[in-house]
């Protein structure tokens, strides 16, 4: 049986939640408390229609006051012994009243528990005063900070965390902008360096070419002068021999000199002129030098073509095929980057925008500025490429020419032609595996390139577009499988 002293121990008068000795204990009239959603003491049968008024229990209040005063006197005589917190995983810290609460465990994992307690009221710092920018306890919030903007600490922490996340995102983007600006600066400096070197090299090349040209001209002129002098010497010598021969001829005909005819015949000039040659001014060395200049010219032309293709590639756009414009015989890939000829006509709606000709249009329309795209044509024996006016008659069999809104080149039976009305034959040194189409709508230009060569295939100039333009593609019939390879729109190859 429990003794009276143990029954009336201090632990009987502690709150089971905060573990403090009761300050003003209250009870219902029956001396117990309510539980659940019903106003009933769990251990008794009595029910209440409404929660009864709570009254201070004098006996419990006196006993609680006694134990509080006893605890104060004991604390004055004996220093308290620290109780270690069970939540500390490594270095044990002193436990405080809030150690057992689940809501306190999260901040406890971040900071030692004594830093989470109000030094004035010895209560958990569960609130945050945004006016003073400091954590406070509930008592502080109700007294010193009652006119301040006080919020639950967890709400402020969530807000701060979100704010910190946003700030971190901002900082990351600012850093990215700084990196991009730095990269742009480096790129600009590199570009300026390359341009300066190119200008310097080009100027030196022009100067060297002019100097070498002057030297070559001087050599040719000197050789020509030498050849002229040599020829003049030969001519003079021949003329002298002719004069001598004429004189001898007259002497031979004279009757008075008949006795000396044998002697005259023996004194006739007998030089062999069959091997006499004038040294040409453009001999092997000079011709080699001139050929080197021609090689240099071709290299310069190729360099200029490389630069031109690199320039137009800056305007490369992402072109996709428009299914609604495709002729029923054409088959498009899922990504709308390939088009070829099918075995049979497909069942598709005959809409106004669908072409009756064996072609398909690009989905993107262009009304101004510049654009460029490349199409792979390797393995094909027939194809048509270019741009068309958006307003073309899509159902009529139009003649493909600029007057009808077409700016197109094609391949037929190994021959390339620009359909400029009349068509112009194109004499290419190599068969293009890829064709680049460049349009400058402001300047009225449509140009076709072989970007791998690189070389300009053909240029339409002075074009009157009169509206939006659409890319135009025709893989042409498969011709029994000989032309079954599809046209393929190349991915953007622009590099910075």
**Complete DSSP assignment for 372-435:** EEEEE-TT-SEEEEEEEETTS-SSS----SGGGTEEEEEEETTEEEE-SSS-EEE--SS--SEE
Q: Using an 8 Å Cβ cutoff, are 449 and 372 in contact?
A: no
Return d(Cα 338, Cα 473) in angstroms, integer: 10
Query: What is the predicted pLDDT for the residue at 11?
Result: 63
The H or E element containing residue 469 is strand 469-474
Written as tens digits, the pLDDT of the chain (496 aa) is: 444 444 455 666 667 666 676 666 766 665 555 444 555 555 455 555 666 666 666 656 666 666 666 655 554 555 555 555 554 544 455 555 544 444 445 554 445 444 578 888 888 888 888 888 888 998 898 888 888 988 887 766 666 677 777 788 888 899 999 999 998 898 888 888 878 887 887 888 788 878 888 888 888 888 888 888 888 888 888 888 888 888 777 776 766 555 555 555 556 566 677 777 776 666 666 677 777 777 777 777 777 878 889 899 999 999 999 999 999 999 999 999 999 998 888 989 999 999 999 999 999 999 999 999 999 999 999 999 999 999 999 988 889 999 999 999 999 989 999 999 889 999 999 999 999 999 999 999 999 999 998 999 999 999 999 999 999 999 999 988 899 999 999 998 755 4
Nearest to 420 by CA among 469, 393, 458, 383: 458
- Cα 311 vs. chain centroid, distance in angstroms? 17
pLDDT value of position 190: 85
- Does the domain formed by 9-71 have CATH 3.30.1300.10? no
pLDDT of residue 283: 65
Helix ranges (H only) for 259-370 are: 261-266, 284-313
Residue with tokens 């528990």: 113
Fold of the domain spanning 117-155: Double Stranded RNA Binding Domain (3.30.160)
Question: Would you say the C-alpha torsion 199, 204, 205, 207 has a positive or negative sign?
Answer: positive
Task: State whether the Cα torsion 379-384-390-392 is positive or negative.
Answer: negative
- The pLDDT of residue 408 is 98
Handedness of CA 237, 238, 244, 247 (dihedral sign): negative
| Class of domain 323-489 (CATH, top level) | mainly beta
| Pairwise CA distance, residues 363 & 87, whole Å | 65
Please, are residues 321 and 362 in contact by the beta-carbon 8 Å criterion?
A: yes
pTM of this structure: 0.52
């Amino acid at each position: 049986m429990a003794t009276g002293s143990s029954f009336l121990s201090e632990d009987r008068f502690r709150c089971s939640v905060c573990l403090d000795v009761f300050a003003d204990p209250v009870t219902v009239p029956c001396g117990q408390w309510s539980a659940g959603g019903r106003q009933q003491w769990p251990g008794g049968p009595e029910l209440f229609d409404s929660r009864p008024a709570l009254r201070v229990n004098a006996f419990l209040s006196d006993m609680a006051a006694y134990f509080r005063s006893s605890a104060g006197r004991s604390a004055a005589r004996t220093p308290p012994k620290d109780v270690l917190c069970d939540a500390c995983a490594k270095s044990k810290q002193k436990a405080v009243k809030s150690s057992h609460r689940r809501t306190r465990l999260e901040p406890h994992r971040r900071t030692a528990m004594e830093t989470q307690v109000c030094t004035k009221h010895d209560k958990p710092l569960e609130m945050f005063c945004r006016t003073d920018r400091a954590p406070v306890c509930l008592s502080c919030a109700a007294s010193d900070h009652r006119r301040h903007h006080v919020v639950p600490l967890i709400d402020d922490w969530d807000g701060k965390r979100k704010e910190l996340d946003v700030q971190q995102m901002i900082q990351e983007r600012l850093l990215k902008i700084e990196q991009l600006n730095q990269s742009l600066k480096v790129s600009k400096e590199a570009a300026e360096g390359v341009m300066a070197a190119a200008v310097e090299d080009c100027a030196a090349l022009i100067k060297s070419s002019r100097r070498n040209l002057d030297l070559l001209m001087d050599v040719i002129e000197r050789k020509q002068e030498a050849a002229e002098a040599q020829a003049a010497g030969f001519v003079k010598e021949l003329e002298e021999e002719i004069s001598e021969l004429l004189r001898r001829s007259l002497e031979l005909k004279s009757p008075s000199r008949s006795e000396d005819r044998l002697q005259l015949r023996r004194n006739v000039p007998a030089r062999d002129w069959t091997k006499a040659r004038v040294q040409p001014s453009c001999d092997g060395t000079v011709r080699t030098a001139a050929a080197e200049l021609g090689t240099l010219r071709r290299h310069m032309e190729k360099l200029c073509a490389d630069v031109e293709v690199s320039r137009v590639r800056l305007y490369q756009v992402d072109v996709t095929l428009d299914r609604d414009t495709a002729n029923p015989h054409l088959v498009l890939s899922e990504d709308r980057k390939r088009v070829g000829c099918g075995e049979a006509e497909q069942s598709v709606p005959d809409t106004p925008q669908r072409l009756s000709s064996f072609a398909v249009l690009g989905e993107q329309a262009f009304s101004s500025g510049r654009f460029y795209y490349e199409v792979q044509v390797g393995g094909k024996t027939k194809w048509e490429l270019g741009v068309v006016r958006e307003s073309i008659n899509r159902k009529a069999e139009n003649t493909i020419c600029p007057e009808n809104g077409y700016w197109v080149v094609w391949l037929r039976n190994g021959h390339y032609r620009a359909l400029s009305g009349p068509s112009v034959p194109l004499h290419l040194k190599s068969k293009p595996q890829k064709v680049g189409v460049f349009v400058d709508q402001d300047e009225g230009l449509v140009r076709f390139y072989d970007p791998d060569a690189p070389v300009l295939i053909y240029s339409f100039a002075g074009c009157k577009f009169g509206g939006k333009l659409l890319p135009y593609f025709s893989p042409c019939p498969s011709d029994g499988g000989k032309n079954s390879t599809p046209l393929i729109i190349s991915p953007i190859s622009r590099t910075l």
